[in-house]
């Protein structure tokens, strides 16, 4: 059973009060649906915490999430944001990904491959069989026009793939490699159309900026880990304020900002490099220090991030996170 446009608008007007939508917003939904445009997007969530969805909905610098979803993208399946549930949700995904349909596959979360993928299922088809994240990801990656791996888990496995995990979790490309084989034509094709946007979570600008770049000028320039060079081109230290303020080579903080009693001492400590406390900024490729996080106004950068808040960078945009960068905090 499909939800028609009329059903959806009825649903919107019923829930408008609860969601705080104005009549203007409803009009926009109507217009966007009438346009029937936008790039169809299927968003799969695997072994994820939904933090990547949250970061996307916090988008503000380029555009807000409402404009993005109403004007630019046509979100066909996203189990946290979609109106339908159960069979209707699954049939929306099946319709959007049928043979011959053009769509973008976004994946959030790692792909558990152990036990034939049974550690993560994304739906129950007609109450008969469970669809696993593993089989859906590899099948849709083959069909999609573009594969966006969003977040550390979808790119490189992240925390679900860390040492001690029994679920065989891995990133999207690794799961496709496991399924199709390293030298198969299918895997090589998937490799060509994949963009990795790592981070735990990624900055909303990295996601929206990459989508906008792809829609306007095609595939962005990527590094060897398939990350867009626009956002992952330099190491963290390259633009870190704590590093830039170093006057001498031994200007390292020996204690965290919060361990100083007075505000003056805390401020003085904020000019010191966190390397000896476990900062992994020297090997982490990111533009966090200039872009910052938690922005409030369109076109302006954010207000804060891990290192300015006094916590060492723990390398969440790098392959190998978290095991390679553990322990995150060094205390002498």
Partner 1 sequence: MATLIIDPLTRIEGHLKVVVMTNGSNVVTEAQMCGTLFRGFENILKGRAPRDASVITQRICGV
Residues in contact with partner 1 by the rule CB under 8 A: 45-55, 79-86, 89-90, 112, 119-124, 127, 130, 158-160, 162-167, 169, 200-201, 314, 322, 326-329, 331
Minimum distance from residue 91 beta carbon to partner 1 (Å): 12
In 3D space, the residue among 151, 148, 227, 220 whose CA is nearest the CA of residue 190 turns out to be 148
The number of CA neighbours under 13 Å toward the Cβ of 86 is 7
Minimum distance from residue 76 beta carbon to partner 1 (Å): 13
The whole-angstrom separation of Cα 253 and Cα 27 is 54
Residues in CB range of 223: below 8 A, 6 or more apart: 229, 232, 233, 285
Phi (first) and psi of residue 131, to 5 degrees: -90, 125
Q: Whose Cβ is closer to partner 1: residue 180's or residue 201's?
A: 201
Q: Whose Cβ is closer to partner 1: residue 161's or residue 190's?
A: 161
Minimum distance from residue 52 beta carbon to partner 1 (Å): 7
Minimum distance from residue 215 beta carbon to partner 1 (Å): 26
Q: Whose Cβ is closer to partner 1: residue 160's or residue 204's?
A: 160
Evaluate whether 147 touches 172 at the Cβ level (below 8 Å): yes
Q: Whose Cβ is closer to partner 1: residue 59's or residue 146's?
A: 59
Minimum distance from residue 151 beta carbon to partner 1 (Å): 9
Tokens found for residue 252: 């390292």
Evaluate whether 220 touches 214 at the Cβ level (below 8 Å): yes
Q: Whose Cβ is closer to partner 1: residue 130's or residue 254's?
A: 130
């Amino acid at each position: 059973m499909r939800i028609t446009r009329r059903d959806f608008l009825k649903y919107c007007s019923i829930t408008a009060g609860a969601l705080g939508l104005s009549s203007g917003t409803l009009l926009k939904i109507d217009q966007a649906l009438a346009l029937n445009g936008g790039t169809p997007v299927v968003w799969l969530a695997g072994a994820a915490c939904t933090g990547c969805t949250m970061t996307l909905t916090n988008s503000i610098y380029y555009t807000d999430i409402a404009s993005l979803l109403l004007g630019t993208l046509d979100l066909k399946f996203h189990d946290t944001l979609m109106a339908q549930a159960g069979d209707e949700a699954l049939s929306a995904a099946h319709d959007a990904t049928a043979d011959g349909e053009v769509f973008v596959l976004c994946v959030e979360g790692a792909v558990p491959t152990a036990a034939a993928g049974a550690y993560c299922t994304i739906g129950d088809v007609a109450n008969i069989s469970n669809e696993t994240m593993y089989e859906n990801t590899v099948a849709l990656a083959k069909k999609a026009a573009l594969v966006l791996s969003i977040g550390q888990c979808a790119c490189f496995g992240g925390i679900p793939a860390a040492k001690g995990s029994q679920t065989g979790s891995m990133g999207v490309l690794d799961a496709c490699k496991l399924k199709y084989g390293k030298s198969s034509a299918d895997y090589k094709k998937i490799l060509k159309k994949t963009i990795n946007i790592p981070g735990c979570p990624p900055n909303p600008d990295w996601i929206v900026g990459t989508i906008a770049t792809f829609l306007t000028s095609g595939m962005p320039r990527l590094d060897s880990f398939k990350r867009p060079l626009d956002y992952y081109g330099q190491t963290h230290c390259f633009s870190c304020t704590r590093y830039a303020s170093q006057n001498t080579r031994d200007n390292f903080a020996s204690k965290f900002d919060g361990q100083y009693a007075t505000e003056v001492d805390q401020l003085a400590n904020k000019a010191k490099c966190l390397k000896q406390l476990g900062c992994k900024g020297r090997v982490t490729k990111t533009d966090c220090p200039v872009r910052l996080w938690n922005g409030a106004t369109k076109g302006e950068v954010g207000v804060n991030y891990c290192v300015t808040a006094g916590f060492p960078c723990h390398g969440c945009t790098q392959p190998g996170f978290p095991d390679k960068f553990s322990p995150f905090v060094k205390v002498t």
